[in-house]
Structure 1
């Protein structure tokens, strides 16, 4: 493996190779997010690529480099979803057979879309690492060519074309904030930044479940905990060797953010920008939300690098965000077990502006005596201040709030 880092010429060559086959996605200012964070926020909408992710760029650049005999035998990759779809789509366009190995934990929406694009999908292993362990065996058995999701110079160069477009549109950016999993995107982005604007700050972002690149470059001094992550697209336990060298040489810092910040960023992008992002796609905004003083007054470019998220997961995130915003809460109330009391209770909550989503009424297990009942109500309000109004109204009527 060469010690040579990729160069701006490699990225420019990739841009020429993929031109006309990849969308030059919008790069737009967000007035509301700028007001919210105190930074001047610019968003690169890579979630609007055909497969919903920037990963098409590197995948296509690699596929275009293959020799005729390699194309005829086919390619293989391992991916949690976005790279898989990029390889599957462009391999199909080029007539190249593609085999995709995915962890069994991959969101169903990503596995289904990959299969619909014409690739053979193999669900193997509980994690990216376990899925990756099968690749050498399959390569040897089938004579396939590996299209690595990140640790490949042509892939990194393809991902760097995002930064060419961003800096071509706004050469006055102060900071680029980039989600980091295996490191292919930030390696390509940093290569462009250092060549075109050496003073431009390049900051990576990782979830606190998988701060693997941060640990490898000395920005995280604890173990990598792993586990289920809202940002499965960057849930990589071991970053690439090539990408690690680029990151160590070219970037300024890596910020590690808690999962709940990523959830909040997903909800804000949907509510404010009306754009759907997966966890990895929202990680850059999560970093700004986690430390707004660091970015205050700076012109910040964020890459919304992916938009493939399971509908059920999205629903849970939005519900949880309503709880954080105090627009969804639970009331636990002891009341006399008498006819009409539950009706009165619900009516008063409604009159005070609350919308009741669920009611659990118990007169057996959770009460102190046989003449009492306990009610748990999930209540939704338009304004967080309405909770205090509802509770005061109920207390004045003699209801006992736990």
Structure 2
């Protein structure tokens, strides 16, 4: 296997350091989805934990390694999920956590960051402006800047999802991974390609926020001027070069999906799996909906990566229909 920044031995070490509440999340065959998608579907449910996303796997590993250092303060930029995770892990280890986010970020995510004890600073503009402000605060105050996906610990923590996938009893031939900054995709992709190289790793991104997918396709960093998608958790515009280098080595494909397919995926997960998820978590289902012929006859695993969604927005997108009553 080509050499990425990741090392499976370090990923196994991360699993030993992460609070067990974030490990061994449910992985199960969801037969109710299969007639609608035309393939066997298993769900890796990364929402069944205190921060309702996979992100705390990375922040647990990162903060465990900071616990003995002289610096007791960290800052990060967040669309919401990494901020919650860092706040949770930092509080557990006595760290002072500052999170910078856009004023337009999902309200429920911002409220939860505050509730977990972090200092929250809001900025005008999008997530890239928040990244710039977080970097400026770290430089000004001499504190540790946590950069999701660039900091290797965030990728190694996310990669523990991959260990759990490849150790599962039932074999699969495709894994569909939401693609934003790249921690989940590069982490899971690394483990899958090293331990089960025949499994196809497909990354999925919204058509309205395509920067990392375009970069993967062109094998160079491609930035975009805007990111316009309901999937705020993956709405970056400026890929990190080192993360792209890793992604190029582990991803077999990167696809873009339409907003209406993301919403349709959320509806399917509600009606046929009983799951309320944020848009980023429905990207894998959206990819199958847009290309059923490609996945016909396969056994796909999709990582349901988060469920931090504003209730009002969710009902606008998906509607309040009871389970099992949508065509």
Structure 1 position 131, deviation (Å):
0.9
Q: Distance in 2 between matches of 1:125 and 1:383?
A: 39
Partner residue, 1:211: 210
Partner residue, 1:274: 274
Partner residue, 1:191: 190
2:74 paired with 1:112: no
Q: Distance in 2 between matches of 1:128 and 1:316?
A: 23
Q: Distance in 1 between matches of 2:308 and 2:314?
A: 10
- SS at 1:47 equivalent: coil
Partner residue, 1:166: 165
Q: Distance in 1 between matches of 2:314 and 2:262?
A: 12
Tell which has more relative contact order, 1 or 2 (C-alpha 8 A, sep 6+).
Answer: 2
Partner residue, 1:241: 241
The answer to whether the 8 A contact 2:204-2:287 is kept is yes
Q: Which of the two has higher C-alpha Rg? A: 1
**Structure 2, unpaired ranges of 5+:** none
Q: Distance in 2 between matches of 1:220 and 1:268?
A: 34
Partner residue, 1:63: 63
Q: Distance in 2 between matches of 1:111 and 1:242?
A: 29
Partner residue, 2:90: 91
Q: Distance in 1 between matches of 2:116 and 2:239?
A: 27
Partner residue, 1:255: 255
Please give the per-residue CA displacement for 1:119-142, whole angstroms capped at 9, x wherever unaligned: 000011310111111122211222
Partner residue, 2:226: 226
TM-score (norm 1): 0.76
Report the CA distance shift for 1:34/1:104 in structure 2 as closer, same or farther (over 3 A): same
Partner residue, 1:40: 40
Structure 1 position 4, deviation (Å):
5.2
Q: Distance in 2 between matches of 1:287 and 1:223?
A: 23
The answer to whether the 8 A contact 2:271-2:326 is kept is no
Please give the per-residue CA displacement for 1:134-181, whole angstroms capped at 9, x wherever unaligned: 122211222211121211111101000011112211462100000000
Please give the per-residue CA displacement for 1:79-99, whole angstroms capped at 9, x wherever unaligned: 100000000001001111100
Partner residue, 1:134: 133
Structure 1 position 66, deviation (Å):
1.2
The answer to whether the 8 A contact 1:85-1:113 is kept is yes
The answer to whether the 8 A contact 2:56-2:86 is kept is yes
Partner residue, 1:354: none
The answer to whether the 8 A contact 2:155-2:184 is kept is yes
Q: Distance in 2 between matches of 1:233 and 1:251?
A: 20
The answer to whether the 8 A contact 2:21-2:49 is kept is no
Report the CA distance shift for 1:36/1:209 in structure 2 as closer, same or farther (over 3 A): same
Partner residue, 2:16: 16
Partner residue, 1:296: 296
